[in-house]
């Protein structure tokens, strides 16, 4: 048997990539209604989400964070449609606390049966314990097929972070300046299916989870060494590579006051390319953050 | 196109034998021919067994002589436990090509091919989608011998479908099968006192009951299906959940790195860990089963129910095993049972006719009894008759009821 990812090492051959535009057509519309039913006896759903574990989290740490630690206030919650939507938000550190806050907002608005699924990098699935834990809390690898099934077939709420992964490492001085959206698969899927897209501007999250020390900028002679190490690292286990993308040092959550505001950007349709529409959404979220920043008196009290 | 004359390959396999038994219940199928190197292991009533290998010349003679319009290929080996590389190749690749060659040819009567494949086609990696649908390709090239052989076999079937657009080709990709009668590496793994897992991973598993696979093959044979269909029950379980349903402890004894070294030791101890299983134990796999359901197929068991049924089998098997006698095929006995005029066939046409005559005699006897019972009072006879009929469970719309009402009206 060839030694490959079974041993946790990267495959020696290049990955067989299928460009998005060449993905095969989906199931006919009639088949989409044959989704599996819910089995009440089960605690874990088909995505690996554990209802029991989430309830324990909600009743303990979740309520503590929402009500006492971050003192979350949400605005424009009525923009959330009942049939599911794609929420786009900005990155804030490696562990985004606002994902749990947004999940609570969706649950409070639509009941305990409606949950928010959070998209994460597929590489994290290879990290022992982390991949399994993420799925227990409704985190799903960010792949087009997964997004299609969640948004289009199941009518779920999905939270995506369209900024590049490196945006999670931005220093505190550059907080609330959103990077250009590059992870556009989820947005393209939602637009193609006519699923509503909302921006979620979260003030306070980037102070709650600041990056104190990112990877230092090396002098020029050492950068070529790092490039060679980077090429070699492709042979490392996928889990190690995924962990290496996390910032070097990050503090635990600080008790910054959190305000969440939903932003709707009208979609002109096929006349506007997804990249351009993503730029509109990014600008709208950034503007809303700027407005909220202007009204804020204190990071800790709001 | 409705199938009337069916050839089943791999008749001695579990799937071939069970499928033949299922097809025998369809009166519209006038001929069922089964081929295999070994004799069948299930009792069959009207399936003609021909002991032959996968030689395409011999198979073609059978196909043409019997005017076979539907070929169902159930021979594909989908579990590499205890199977050599050579046997895998012979059965999966060479055997499939021979079957397809037997179905080809300018004068071939074959109009439908049903091919049983496996979900190993999709593989399993960290960045696989949560649910594979039929149109999705693999995300990585195949890495085990079994996967390569399955891909080659499916490629041969795809090529055949392209060359013969007049033939309906249905390809069924079955996920992990569990059941009381099917012996797979996963069934053996779940039969252990504990369920071994890889430390830090709790993969998603999807199952299908053995009966549902047989029904899916039957559905594809008797209906006009064309294309690729995933066969997997509703529901995707995590491995710890599976262990809980089986009443066993999930034990993460396999390390996340160096797993193949650890499994080599386990294999020496007799634990059936195949290369395909190792990846499943890490990442799992889910299939989108809606396309087959959209054709009218209904699964009897969900994944959870499949596991529960298997758990029940594990508990009862040690008790029931001693009471069951396995079927043994004897050609002379089978020929006597099939062709001898002295054998009373419970479902033959003569028996059906006798049953109908008996039912008519019963009806006539009932009418005579009512006539002899005498006329009833004029007023409300129809209403009283209805009350009596309701009490008896008949009404005046049945032949007995109508005749009784007519008698009552005539006497009035």
Q: Give the whole-angstrom CA distance, residue A228 versus residue A234.
A: 10
Task: State pTM to two decimals.
Answer: 0.81
* A interface test, pick of B129, B158, B254, B259 with most A CB neighbours within 10 Å: B129
**CB pair distance less than 8 Å for B290 and A27:** yes
Q: Does A5 touch chain B (CB under 8 A)?
A: yes
Percentage of chain B lying above the pLDDT 70 cut = 87
Which tens digits make up the pLDDT trace of A239-270? Answer: 555 555 555 445 568 899 999 999 999 998 88
> B26, B66, B71: which is closest to B48 by C-alpha?
B66
Where exactly are the structural domains of chain B?
Answer: 5-334, 344-411
Say which residues have a Cβ less than 8 Å from residue A47's Cβ, sequence separation at least 6: A117, A135, A138, A140, B130, B236
B11 in Cβ contact with B20 (< 8 Å): yes
Q: How many CB pairs (< 8 A) connect A and B?
A: 137
- Point out the least confidently predicted range of A230-239, A288-297, B51-60, B357-366: A230-239
Q: Is pLDDT of B384 > 60?
A: no
Does residue B259 or residue B380 have the better pLDDT? Answer: B259
**A90-109 average pLDDT score:** 89
ipTM greater than 0.85: no
Angle between helices B399-411 and B381-392 (to 10 degrees): 160
- Point out the least confidently predicted range of A225-239, B41-55, B56-70, B204-218: A225-239
Q: Give the whole-angstrom CA distance, residue B333 versus residue B57.
A: 29
Which tens digits make up the pLDDT trace of B164-207? Answer: 999 999 999 999 999 999 989 999 999 999 999 999 999 999 99
> B89, B15, B14, B12: which is closest to B49 by C-alpha?
B12
B373: confidence class by pLDDT, cuts 50, 70, 90: confident
Helix (H) or strand (E) holding A199: strand A197-203
> What is the pLDDT at residue A231?
60
> What is the pLDDT at residue B246?
96
Q: Give the whole-angstrom CA distance, residue B358 versus residue B361.
A: 5
Does residue A212 or residue B199 have the better pLDDT? Answer: B199
B273: confidence class by pLDDT, cuts 50, 70, 90: confident
Does residue B390 or residue B157 have the better pLDDT? Answer: B157
> A214, A188, A197: which is closest to A274 by C-alpha?
A188
Chain A partners within 8 Å of B253 (Cβ): none
> What is the pLDDT at residue B98?
93
Does residue A174 or residue A181 have the better pLDDT? Answer: A181
Q: Is pLDDT of B291 > 90?
A: yes
Residue A35 per-residue DSSP state: P
Which tens digits make up the pLDDT trace of B17-55? Answer: 999 999 999 999 999 999 999 999 888 888 999 998 768
Does residue B1 or residue A82 have the better pLDDT? Answer: A82
A128 in Cβ contact with B201 (< 8 Å): yes
**Pick from A6, A32, A39: which is nearest to B304 by CB?**
A39
Chain B partners within 8 Å of A130 (Cβ): 200
Q: Calculate the alpha carbon distances from B317 to A183, B181, B323, B324 in Å.
A: 53, 10, 10, 10
Q: Is pLDDT of B111 > 60?
A: yes
Q: Give the whole-angstrom CA distance, residue B403 versus residue A187.
A: 72
Shortest Cα distance, chain B CAs vs residue A234, angstroms: 15
> What is the pLDDT at residue A171?
80
A210: confidence class by pLDDT, cuts 50, 70, 90: confident
- Point out the least confidently predicted range of A148-157, A266-275, B388-397: B388-397
Which tens digits make up the pLDDT trace of A7-50? Answer: 343 333 333 333 333 334 455 565 567 899 888 889 999 999 99
* A interface test, pick of B85, B121, B130 with most A CB neighbours within 10 Å: B130
Shortest Cα distance, chain B CAs vs residue A143, angstroms: 6
Say yes or no: domain B5-334 is CATH 3.10.20.30: no
Shortest Cα distance, chain B CAs vs residue A48, angstroms: 7
């Amino acid at each position: 048997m060839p030694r490959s990812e079974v041993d946790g090492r990267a495959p020696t051959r290049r990955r067989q990539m299928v460009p998005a535009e060449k993905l095969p057509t989906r199931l006919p519309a009639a088949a989409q209604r044959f989704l599996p039913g819910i089995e009440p006896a089960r605690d874990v759903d088909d995505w690996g989400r554990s209802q029991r574990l989430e309830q324990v989290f909600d009743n303990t740490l979740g309520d503590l964070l929402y009500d006492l630690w971050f003192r979350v206030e949400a605005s424009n919650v009525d923009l959330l449609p009942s049939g599911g939507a794609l929420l786009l938000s900005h990155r804030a550190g490696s562990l985004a606390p606002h994902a749990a806050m947004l999940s609570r907002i969706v649950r409070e608005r639509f009941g305990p049966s409606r949950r928010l699924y959070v998209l994460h990098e597929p590489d994290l699935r290879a990290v022992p314990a982390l991949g399994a834990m993420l799925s227990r809390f409704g985190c799903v690898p960010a792949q087009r097929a997964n997004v299609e099934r969640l948004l289009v077939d199941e009518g779920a709420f999905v939270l995506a972070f369209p900024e590049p992964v490196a945006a999670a490492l931005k220093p505190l001085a550059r907080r609330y300046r959103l990077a250009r959206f590059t992870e556009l698969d989820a947005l393209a899927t939602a637009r193609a299916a006519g699923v509503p897209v909302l921006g979620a501007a979260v003030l306070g999250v980037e102070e709650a989870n600041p990056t104190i020390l990112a990877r230092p900028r090396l002098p020029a002679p050492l950068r070529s060494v790092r490039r060679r190490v980077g090429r070699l690292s492709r042979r490392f286990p996928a889990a190690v590579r995924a962990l290496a993308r996390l910032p070097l040092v990050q503090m635990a959550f600080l008790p910054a006051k959190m305000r969440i505001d939903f932003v709707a950007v009208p979609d002109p349709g096929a006349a506007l390319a997804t990249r351009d529409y993503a730029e509109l959404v990014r600008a709208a979220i950034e503007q809303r953050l700027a407005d909220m920043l202007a009204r804020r008196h204190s990071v800790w009290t709001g | 196109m409705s199938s009337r004359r069916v050839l089943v390959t791999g008749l001695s396999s579990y799937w071939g034998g069970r499928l033949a038994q299922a097809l025998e219940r369809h009166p519209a199928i006038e001929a069922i021919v089964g081929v295999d190197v070994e004799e069948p292991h299930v009792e069959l009533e009207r399936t003609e067994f021909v002991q032959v290998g996968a030689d395409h010349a011999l198979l073609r003679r059978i196909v043409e002589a019997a005017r076979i319009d539907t070929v169902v290929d159930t021979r594909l080996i989908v579990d590499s436990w205890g199977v050599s590389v050579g046997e895998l190749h012979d059965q999966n690749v060479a055997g499939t090509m021979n079957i397809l060659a037997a179905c080809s040819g300018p004068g071939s009567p074959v109009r439908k091919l049903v091919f049983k494949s496996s979900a190993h086609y999709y593989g399993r990696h960290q960045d696989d989608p949560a649910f594979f649908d039929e149109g999705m390709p693999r995300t990585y090239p195949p890495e085990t011998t079994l996967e390569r052989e399955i891909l080659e076999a499916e490629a041969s079937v795809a090529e055949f479908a392209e060359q013969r657009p007049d033939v309906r080709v249905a390809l069924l990709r079955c996920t992990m099968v569990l059941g009381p009668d099917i012996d797979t590496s996963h069934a053996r793994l779940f039969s252990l006192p504990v369920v071994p897992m890889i430390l830090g991973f709790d993969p998603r598993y999807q199952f299908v009951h053995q009966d549902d696979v047989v029904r899916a093959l039957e559905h594809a044979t008797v209906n006009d299906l064309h294309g690729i269909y995933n066969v997997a029950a509703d529901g995707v379980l995590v491995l710890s959940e599976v262990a809980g349903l089986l009443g066993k402890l999930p034990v993460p004894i396999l390390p996340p790195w160096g797993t193949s070294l650890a499994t080599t030791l386990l294999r020496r101890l007799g634990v059936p860990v195949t290369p395909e299983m190792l990846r499943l134990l890490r990442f799992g796999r889910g299939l989108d089963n809606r396309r087959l359901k959209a054709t009218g197929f209904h699964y009897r068991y969900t994944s959870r129910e499949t596991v529960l049924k298997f758990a029940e089998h594990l508990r009862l098997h040690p008790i029931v095993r001693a009471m069951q006698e396995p079927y043994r095929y004897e050609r002379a006995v089978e020929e006597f049972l099939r062709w001898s005029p002295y054998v009373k066939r419970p479902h033959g046409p003569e028996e059906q006719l006798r049953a109908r005559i008996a039912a008519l005699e019963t009806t006539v006897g009932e009418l005579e009894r009512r006539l002899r019972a005498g006329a009833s009072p004029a007023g409300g006879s129809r209403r009283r008759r209805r009350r009596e009929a309701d009490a008896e469970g008949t009404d005046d719309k049945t032949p007995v009821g109508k005749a009784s009402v007519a008698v009552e009206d005539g006497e009035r």
